[in-house]
């Protein structure tokens, strides 16, 4: 594969809107999805993720806007002529067919010779670690196996784009972690352009090349996992990706590409995305793990513990302070466990505090 | 770039050629009763090629067809071709309609003209799906347009003909004419009063009895309740007149109960009491089916929640079950009312001088040869049933769907409060006993010389059946067997289109297809007689009109069972099939059809049974050549040969019971071999 192709976008959405009656499911969404990458659509339920996926698949026609696949306008192309496969939330395995027939379904549509179908299905099942299960019915499989069959059924067609609609939401937490690793490896190995929908931010952070955060039918921010976590474009993204404390602060000045702000007793120098207006009040994002808590030092931001929870790896607190309630994840537990009502003193890890507009 | 491209649009140019070929072999115009026939050998006088000069627009139609065929060969842009095809086929369909409906309505159309018209429709469908106006491929759009055309021809058109009969006087539109006609007819008021009285009484009784059975079967502790189940369903496979005959045998002048037990001779049963008893026996099962569905799908967690909140059994029943059931009860009541108004068999047999709308329409045509009066009474009957239907569908229907959530209820059900349980069981057992007695009397009535007068055993009625009835029995079987698959497939297809696709006009499409359920058989019957006896569409006197009548009358049953089955199938399955590259037709046949096989079978058997037992519509359509079982039975009853009629009825019941048992075996086997996954509700639907 040439380097040139890696950079061109395989799938392109241009100003897509979709209305169902009065409901605007998505509003003026544009996206470029590069060849061979896995893009995640992340957002709360009802924000229009599935609708975007269905428009890409051709199951819905957008009210306005265009979809391009490899440069060709496919907005009105019927779904069965698109070479785009979809893994459904419910897996949608045909209950009246066994595993073999399910996987062979699309190949039979393409009129492959039966011999070749048999070899392909066998091989792909073996690859998915499910050799010998050909004759099983979908209801005789575990959730994880059903999921693998659904993915395999789509993959054997070698689609140009593979779509996943919350494929792991029906699995328990442990299996979910494992399956997302499997999906990511498979996608990388085959270099298949993929769009992955989830409302689970940790899943999105774990498997994506790029994450598209959506809110209320529009795109909030597009970026890599680290960028979204460290430098969210707005408080919605900050809050949705991981946990965040949003704290009001006073802007003192701009200095060397950083903003000097005053918050509580501290004067901090923090990164920003857009230069803020002078003299205005600004918002800071502080992650719970970037707050240091100590009951003993008697120095810094004073607060009182309101909720205290032992979580195993961390101690989690909610602390009342003069700048508002703050959530804190204390990994080191240097100061020991602070009970409810304890007076504590907080400090921020300055380099991780981020100014949002 | 080639200018001619054979591969791209094969369906269009090959389709065009096929149509030309078919037009050569099928008569374009028809002689009476031959509308669906092939050209007779050597006689090409009805071929399209012999009519060319006579009809100016016909030449244009063929030119359009030729252009479409050529269009399929040209290598044009996709949208351009779509637009051209749209323009050509739409003008074809319109010009056809103008020529044969407006310009020359006196020409009797033959098979060839149907082929020409529907080919334009199918090309139009293809262009619509190409232009994205109907979401879905040519299979979907073609089905939608063809079915819409059939609905217009076989449901809307006959209704319009009835309306014109009574609204149009000497080519002038005078809607007030209907009142003139009705007021001039002395019995109008009495008939209307009788009909409403009958329908409302029957509605109340059927619903109450249906409810009692539903509660007992779904929620009673009674151990032998499955036994009651069968009895409650028996009337469905009962031909018309059976209940009526049984009531005469039990309660008539020479009736077993009135005469032998009470020792009186009275004809009190003929009239209001007899009709109400007969119709309640007939229609309570329908109410039962609706209500048991409602109770069955009620989530028991709601009641359990109520107990845990401290309510006792009786209070929970009153505050939880009852309110949830109310829409279902309204539903059952309204449907029983419709059925009662539309019923023809019981009033004609037991009515005496208590005449109702359905029978008066029949007598207006058969006795007085008064088409205008028949049409006017028909309109009255239709407006009442239609209003009820609309109320049922859009007011109650919606509400009851809200309460029945799709969540399957669990196996453990909570029993009724004790006092209620015992009294309901007692009542349903009594009702079952009455049913047994009635059916028993019909069964026995076929084996005695003359019921109540000469009770010696005889086989003479069955012997008579072989000479005087066997022919119509075979005809009925054949026509029912032909119409059942057509009905089931058409109903299913409509259910599929309506529930899975959104297209312009979907609501009227669905409404019209369900409409025939609300059109009483007598009204359909006179509509068909009036509409299809004269050009341009002449079908009367053929077996085809009977099949068509069966199909369009019974279609709503197929639609309903199809809808119910489709509701249980995750639409994602079909979408998965399509994103895996399958066409809509392939998806329908490989994914949808196998999954709703039980619904297909139940639709099949239902339409078969209904065709076997139809009377009210077909009584206007049968001829000496196409006698049907039910019309023969009515004839024998009128001739006083009750024994023969009874024997015939028994044979029909056995036939239908055998068909149902056979189907249940087939379904069970399918389930057993693991080819099917049938939910409880589907099994219920099949059992009907
Ligand atoms: N077929 C439909 N008809 C009407 N509204 C719909 C339909 N599909 C989705 N919507 C609405 O569009 C919005 C976005 O839905 P969806 O794309 O399913 O969200 P998500 O997948 O992010 O949870 C929701 O408000 C939903 O109610
Ligand atoms: Mg979704």
The reply to whether B582 touches chain A by the CB within 8 Å rule is yes
Question: What CATH number has the domain bearing residue A33?
Answer: 3.40.50.300
Same domain flag for A259 and A339: yes
**HSE (CB half, 13 Å, CA atoms) of B579?**
35
- Are the C-beta atoms of B580 and A157 separated by less than 8 Å? yes
CA dihedral B120, B122, B126, B128 (to 10 degrees): 70
Q: Which of A190, A211, A236 is the last residue of a domain?
A: A236
Angle between helices B470-500 and B138-151 (to 10 degrees): 130
- How many whole angstroms separate alpha carbon B608 and alpha carbon B612? 6
User: For atom 2 of ligand 1, which residue has the closest CA?
Assistant: A20
- Are the C-beta atoms of A286 and A350 separated by less than 8 Å? no
- Are the C-beta atoms of B593 and B675 separated by less than 8 Å? no
Same domain flag for A197 and A90: yes
CA dihedral B411, B416, B422, B425 (to 10 degrees): -50
pLDDT of residue B263: 76
The reply to whether B672 touches chain A by the CB within 8 Å rule is no
- Strand pairing report for B172-173 and A301-310: unpaired
What single DSSP character describes residue A45? Answer: T
User: For atom 14 of ligand 1, which residue has the closest CA?
Assistant: A48
Residue B574 Cα to ligand 1 midpoint, Å, equals: 19
Q: Which of A221, A236, A251 is the last residue of a domain?
A: A236
Nearest chain A residue to B596 by CA distance is: A96
Same domain flag for A267 and A285: yes
- How many whole angstroms separate alpha carbon B125 and alpha carbon B503? 12
Task: Report the run of H or E that residue A355 belongs to, with start and end.
Answer: strand A354-356
- Substitution target in B77, B137, B503, B576 with the highest count of A β-carbons within 10 Å is B576
> Which residue has tokens 């192709």?
A5
Task: Report the run of H or E that residue B172 belongs to, with start and end.
Answer: strand B172-173
ipTM: 0.85
Nearest to A182 by CA among A143, A128, A102, A120: A128
Residues in chain B with CB shorter than 8 Å from the CB of A153 are 580
Same domain flag for A271 and A156: no
Residue A236 Cα to ligand 2 midpoint, Å, equals: 19
Same domain flag for A86 and A224: yes
CA dihedral B469, B470, B474, B476 (to 10 degrees): 20
The alpha carbon of residue A196 and the mean position of all alpha carbons in its chain are separated, in whole angstroms, by: 8
Residues in chain A with CB shorter than 8 Å from the CB of B595 are 95-96
Residue B256 Cα to ligand 1 midpoint, Å, equals: 66
- Min Cα separation A97/chain B (Å): 8
Nearest chain A residue to B138 by CA distance is: A78
| Closest ligand 1 atom to A165 CA | 21
Nearest to B245 by CA among B254, B232, B234: B254
Residues in chain B with CB shorter than 8 Å from the CB of A95 are 573, 595, 677
Domain count, chain A: 2
Same domain flag for A71 and A145: yes
Residues in chain A with CB shorter than 8 Å from the CB of B676 are 96
Task: Report the run of H or E that residue B471 belongs to, with start and end.
Answer: helix B470-500
- Strand pairing report for A266-272 and A354-356: parallel
Same domain flag for A158 and A120: yes
User: For atom 17 of ligand 1, which residue has the closest CA?
Assistant: A48
Candidate from A19, A41, A48 with most ligand 1 atoms within 8 A of CB, to mutate? A48
- Are the C-beta atoms of B629 and B473 separated by less than 8 Å? yes
Ranges of residues in chain A with a pLDDT under 50 are 1-6
Residues with CB under 6 A from ligand 1: A 20, 23, 25, 43, 45-51
CB atoms within 10 A of CB B190: 14
Which of A59, A86, A109 is facing B582, going by the closest CB pair? A109
| Closest ligand 1 atom to A21 CA | 4
Same domain flag for A167 and A288: no
| Closest ligand 1 atom to A44 CA | 22
- How many whole angstroms separate alpha carbon B120 and alpha carbon B95? 10
3-state secondary structure of B356: coil
Q: Which of A179, A205, A236 is the last residue of a domain?
A: A236
DSSP for A276-289, please give it. PPTT-EEEEEE-GG
- How many whole angstroms separate alpha carbon B616 and alpha carbon B549? 11
Residue A217 Cα to ligand 2 midpoint, Å, equals: 12
Interface of A to B at Cβ within 8 Å reads 57-59, 61, 76, 78-86, 88-90, 92, 94-96, 105-106, 109-110, 137, 139, 153-154, 157
Is B594 in contact with A61 (Cβ distance < 8 A)?
no
pLDDT of residue B674: 41
Ranges of residues in chain B with a pLDDT under 70 are 1-2, 7, 32-43, 231-233, 235, 299-300, 303, 396-414, 667-668, 670-688
Q: Taking all residues of chain B, what is their mean pLDDT, rounded to a whole number?
A: 83
The reply to whether B575 touches chain A by the CB within 8 Å rule is yes
pLDDT of residue B680: 36
A111 is written with which tokens? 């009129």
The reply to whether B77 touches chain A by the CB within 8 Å rule is no
- Min Cα separation A209/chain B (Å): 25
- Min Cα separation B581/chain A (Å): 4
Residue B445 Cα to ligand 2 midpoint, Å, equals: 65
Nearest to B514 by CA among B686, B684, B393: B393
- Min Cα separation A217/chain B (Å): 22
List A85's β-bridge partners, or say none. A162
Candidate from A16, A22, A23, A29 with most ligand 1 atoms within 8 A of CB, to mutate? A23
Which of A85, A96, A154 is facing B595, going by the closest CB pair? A96
Same domain flag for A170 and A269: no
Is A86 in contact with B573 (Cβ distance < 8 A)?
no
Same domain flag for A172 and A292: no
Is A85 in contact with B580 (Cβ distance < 8 A)?
yes
Residue A41 Cα to ligand 1 midpoint, Å, equals: 14
- How many whole angstroms separate alpha carbon B635 and alpha carbon B645? 9
pLDDT of residue A276: 82
Taking CB atoms and an 8 Å cut-off, how many pairs form between chains A and B?
71
Residues in chain A with CB shorter than 8 Å from the CB of B135 are 61
- Min Cα separation B304/chain A (Å): 27
**Which ligand approaches the C-alpha of residue A26 most closely?**
1
Same domain flag for A178 and A214: yes
What single DSSP character describes residue A27? Answer: E
CB atoms within 10 A of CB B283: 27
- Strand pairing report for A291-294 and A343-348: antiparallel
Residue A308's domain comprises 243-356
Question: What CATH number has the domain bearing residue A317?
Answer: 2.40.50.100
- Min Cα separation B677/chain A (Å): 7
Which of A76, A109, A137 is facing B580, going by the closest CB pair? A109
3-state secondary structure of A328: strand
Residue B209 Cα to ligand 2 midpoint, Å, equals: 46
The reply to whether B675 touches chain A by the CB within 8 Å rule is yes
The reply to whether B679 touches chain A by the CB within 8 Å rule is no
Same domain flag for A220 and A77: yes
Query: Per residue in B357-394, is it b (16+ CB within 10 Å) or e — as a string?
Result: bbbbbbbbbeeeeebbbbbbbbbbbbebbbebbeebbe
């Amino acid at each position: 594969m040439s380097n040139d192709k890696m950079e061109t976008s395989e799938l392109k959405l241009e100003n897509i809107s979709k209305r169902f009656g009065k409901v605007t499911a998505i509003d003026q969404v544009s996206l470029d999805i590069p060849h061979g990458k896995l893009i995640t659509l992340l957002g709360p339920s009802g924000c229009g993720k599935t609708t975007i996926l269905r428009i890409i698949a051709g199951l819905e026609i957008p009210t306005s806007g265009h979809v391009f696949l490899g440069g060709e306008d496919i907005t009105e192309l019927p779904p069965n002529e698109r070479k785009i496969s979809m893994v459904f939330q419910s897996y949608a395995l045909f209950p009246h067919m066994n595993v073999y027939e399910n996987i062979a379904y699309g190949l039979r549509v393409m009129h492959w010779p039966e011999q070749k179908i048999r070899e392909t299905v066998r091989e792909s099942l073996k690859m998915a670690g499910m050799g010998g299960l050909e004759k099983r019915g979908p209801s005789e499989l575990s959730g994880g196996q059903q999921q693998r069959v659904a993915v395999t059924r789509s993959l054997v067609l070698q689609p140009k784009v593979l779509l996943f609609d919350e494929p792991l939401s029906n699995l328990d937490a442990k299996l979910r972690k494992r399956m997302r690793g499997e999906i990511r490896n498979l996608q990388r190995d085959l270099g298949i352009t993929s769009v992955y929908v989830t409302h689970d931010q940790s899943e999105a952070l774990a498997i994506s090349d790029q994450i598209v955060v959506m809110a209320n039918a529009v795109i909030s921010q597009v970026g890599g996992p680290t960028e979204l976590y460290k430098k969210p474009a707005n408080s919605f993204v900050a809050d949705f990706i991981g946990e965040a404390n949003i704290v009001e602060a006073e802007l003192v000045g701009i200095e060397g590409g950083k903003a000097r702000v005053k918050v509580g007793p501290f004067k901090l120098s923090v990164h920003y995305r857009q230069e803020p207006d002078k003299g205005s009040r600004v918002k800071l994002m502080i992650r719970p793990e970037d707050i240091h808590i100590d009951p003993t030092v008697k120095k810094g931001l004073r607060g009182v513990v309101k909720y205290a929870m032992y979580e195993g790896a961390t101690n989690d607190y909610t602390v009342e302070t003069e700048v508002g309630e703050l959530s804190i994840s204390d990994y080191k537990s240097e100061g020991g466990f602070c009970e409810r009502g304890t007076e504590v003193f907080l400090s921020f890890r300055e380099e991780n505090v981020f100014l949002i507009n | 770039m080639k200018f001619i491209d054979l591969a791209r649009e094969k369906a269009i140019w090959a389709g065009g050629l096929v149509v030309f070929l078919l037009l050569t072999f099928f008569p374009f115009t028809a002689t009476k009763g031959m509308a669906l026939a092939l050209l007779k050998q050597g006689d090409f006088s009805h071929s399209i090629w012999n009519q060319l000069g006579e009809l100016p627009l016909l030449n244009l139609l063929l030119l359009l067809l030729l252009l479409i065929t050529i269009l399929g060969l040209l290598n044009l842009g996709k949208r351009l071709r779509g637009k051209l095809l749209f323009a050509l086929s739409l003008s074809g369909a319109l010009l056809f309609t103008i020529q044969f409906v407006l310009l020359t309505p006196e020409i009797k159309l033959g098979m060839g003209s149907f082929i020409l018209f529907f080919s334009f429709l199918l090309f139009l469908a293809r262009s619509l799906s190409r232009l994205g106006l109907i979401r879905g491929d040519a299979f979907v759009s073609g089905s939608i347009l063809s079915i819409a055309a059939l609905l217009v021809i076989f449901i809307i058109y006959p209704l319009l003909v009835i309306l014109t009969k009574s609204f149009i006087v000497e080519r002038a539109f005078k809607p007030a004419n209907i009142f003139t006609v009705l007021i001039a007819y002395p019995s109008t008021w009495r008939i209307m009063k009788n009909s409403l009285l009958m329908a409302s009484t029957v509605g109340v009784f059927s619903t109450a009895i249906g409810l009692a059975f539903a509660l007992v079967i779904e929620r009673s502790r009674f151990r032998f309740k499955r036994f009651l189940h069968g009895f409650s369903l028996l009337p469905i496979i009962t031909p018309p007149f059976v209940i009526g005959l049984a009531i005469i045998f039990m309660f008539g002048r020479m009736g077993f109960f009135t005469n032998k037990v009470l020792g009186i001779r009275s004809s009190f049963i003929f009239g209001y009491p007899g009709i109400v008893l007969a119709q309640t026996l007939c229609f309570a099962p329908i109410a039962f089916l609706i209500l048991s569905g409602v109770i069955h799908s009620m989530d028991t967690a709601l009641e359990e929640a109520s107990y845990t909140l401290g309510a006792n059994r009786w209070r929970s029943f009153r505050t939880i079950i009852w309110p949830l059931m109310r829409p279902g009860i309204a539903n059952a009541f309204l449907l029983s009312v419709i059925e009662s108004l539309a019923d023809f068999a019981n009033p004609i047999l037991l009515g005496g001088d208590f005449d109702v709308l359905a029978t008066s329409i029949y007598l207006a045509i058969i006795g007085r040869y008064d088409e205008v009066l028949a049409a006017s009474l028909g309109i009255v009957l239709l407006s009442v049933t239609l209003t009820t239907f609309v109320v049922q569908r859009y007011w109650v229907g919606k509400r009851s769907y809200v309460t029945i959530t799709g969540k399957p209820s669990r196996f453990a059900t909570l029993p009724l409060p004790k006092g209620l349980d015992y009294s309901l069981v007692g009542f349903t057992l009594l009702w079952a006993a009455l049913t047994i007695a009635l059916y028993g009397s019909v069964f026995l009535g076929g084996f005695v010389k003359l019921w109540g007068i000469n009770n010696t055993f005889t086989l003479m009625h069955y012997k008579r059946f072989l000479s005087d009835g066997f022919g119509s029995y075979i005809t009925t079987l054949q026509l029912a067997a032909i119409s059942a698959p057509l009905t089931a497939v058409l109903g299913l297809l409509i259910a599929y289109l309506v529930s899975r696709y959104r297209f312009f006009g979907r609501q009227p499409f669905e409404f019209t297809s369900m409409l025939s359920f609300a059109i009483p058989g007598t009204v359909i019957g006179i509509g068909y007689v009036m509409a299809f006896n004269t050009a341009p569409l002449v079908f009367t006197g053929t077996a085809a009109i009977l099949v068509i009548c069966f199909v369009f009358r019974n279609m709503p049953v197929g639609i309903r069972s199809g809808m119910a089955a489709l509701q249980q199938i995750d639409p994602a399955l079909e979408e998965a099939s399509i994103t895996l590259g399958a066409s809509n037709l392939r998806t329908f046949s490989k994914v949808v059809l196998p999954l709703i096989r039980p619904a297909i079978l139940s639709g099949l058997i239902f339409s078969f049974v209904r065709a076997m037992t139809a009377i009210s519509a077909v009584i206007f359509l049968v001829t000496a050549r196409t006698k049907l079982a039910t019309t023969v039975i009515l004839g024998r009853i009128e001739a006083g040969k009750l024994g023969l009629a009874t024997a015939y009825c028994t044979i029909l019941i056995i036939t239908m019971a055998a068909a149902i048992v056979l189907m249940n075996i087939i379904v069970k086997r399918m389930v057993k071999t693991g080819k099917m996954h049938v939910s409880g509700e589907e099994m219920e639907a099949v059992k009907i």
